[in-house]
Structure 1
């Protein structure tokens, strides 16, 4: 059974950019580096910070960290 998306509130442009590459769950963002995320149109430093903090709360981190 598919679980509901659990991305934190990072704004519509950033959420859309992640969805465009098939990312709908927070844990999926751990496959990417900060640089890769920032390269997505619509994802800025604030969105990356929020994602990083949410990952840390779950014992995860961005790739390469």
Structure 2
């Protein structure tokens, strides 16, 4: 079961699925720069993911 943000665009969901990043905890193990390199991840998706991470007390890796 995924805990990705509900309003995430389909290209962003596909990009995360293809990278096997289905949980916020998994995403917290990569840097924001690495996330931005995934095809389909735009500024809005990064913002939504950052907010979702913060809501769970997580951050991007440094």
Q: TM-score, normalised by structure 2?
A: 0.91
Runs (5+) with no aligned partner, structure 2: none
Match of 1:35 in 2: 33
Is residue 3 of structure 2 the alignment partner of residue 6 of structure 1? yes
Structure 1 gaps of 5+ residues are: none
- TM-score, normalising length: structure 1: 0.87
* Coordinate RMSD, CA, aligned: 0.8
Aligned to 2:17: 19
Superposition misfits of 4+ residues, deviation over 3 angstroms: none
Across the two proteins, how many residue pairs are aligned to each other? 61
